[in-house]
Amino acid sequence: MHDASRRLFSSRSALLVALFLAVFAAGPAAAQPARFDIDPEHLSIGFLVHHLSYARVLGMFRAAKGSYSYDEKSGALSDVRIEVDSASVFTNHRKRDDHLKGPDFLNSGEFPKMVFTAAGARHAGDRNFEINGNLELLGKSLPMTLQATMNKLSRYELGTFRKPYVMGVSARGSFKRSAYGMTYGLDNGWVGDDVDMVIEFEAHRQ
């Protein structure tokens, strides 16, 4: 083999060895959690509160948004944030809704947002999560836990142009409104203290 050929062969061999070492030294790329945005058109946030101990009033919030991160490989859920427009409260009774928006209850003029946040979640089964976070309401941030179930995670079946990757979730939680200083109707038993939350949504992967 001529000297020039040897040098060319040696250079090519060195390059191949360097590429081989670089690839295997780096190892497989770590999977990154995907960000999911809650679809506002498929988001329902409801609540139930006792009225005079006869029955529970069913209400809802008609404006909200949220997002979170989910690692499909490890099943880790993190960076949960749900923002609710407190003035969007609706109980199918105009006078009651106006009262709920006022200072006796949500005081939406001064506190326009209710915000639930959680850094992470604990697995409570194959598709179940216990999300220990905080609910910010009326200027206070207190612990609140959501029990959530991932119903489905797949490519969306509907639509003809864009078919996003969608996760469907059902979540439940509760809190005492008195802990936030919302005490109207407690002493006389008109309005219950426990607020049960019902959250249903679909979220699109970014």
**156 pLDDT above the threshold of 80:** yes
Quick one: 174 exposed, middle or buried, by C-beta within 10 A (0-12, 13-18, 19+)?
Answer: middle
Local structure of 25: helix, strand or coil: helix
Same domain, 73 and 10: no
Mean pLDDT of 28-46: 85
In degrees, rounded to 5, the angle at the alpha carbon of residue 25 between the alpha carbons of residues 22 and 30 is: 105
Q: What pLDDT, on a 0 to 100 scale, did the predictor assign at position 60?
A: 98
Domain of residue 22 covers: 1-30
* Confidence band for 125, pLDDT divided at 50, 70 and 90: confident
Same domain, 22 and 119: no
Strands (E), 23-139: 34-51, 55-61, 64-71, 76-85, 89-90, 113-120, 122-123, 128-137
CATH number at residue 150: 2.40.128.110
Same domain, 143 and 198: yes
Give the length of the chain.
Answer: 206
Residue among 96, 98, 64 at smallest CA distance from 83: 64
For the chain, the domain total comes to 2
Same domain, 56 and 158: yes
- Inter-residue contact 83 to 113 (CB < 8 Å): yes
**This prediction's pTM:** 0.83
Q: Which tokens belong to 160?
A: 């003809």
**157 pLDDT above the threshold of 90:** no
- Tell how many helices (H) and how many strands (E) occur in the chain: 2, 11
- What tens digit of pLDDT does each residue of 57-101 get? 999 999 999 999 999 999 999 999 999 999 999 999 999 999 999
Local structure of 22: helix, strand or coil: helix
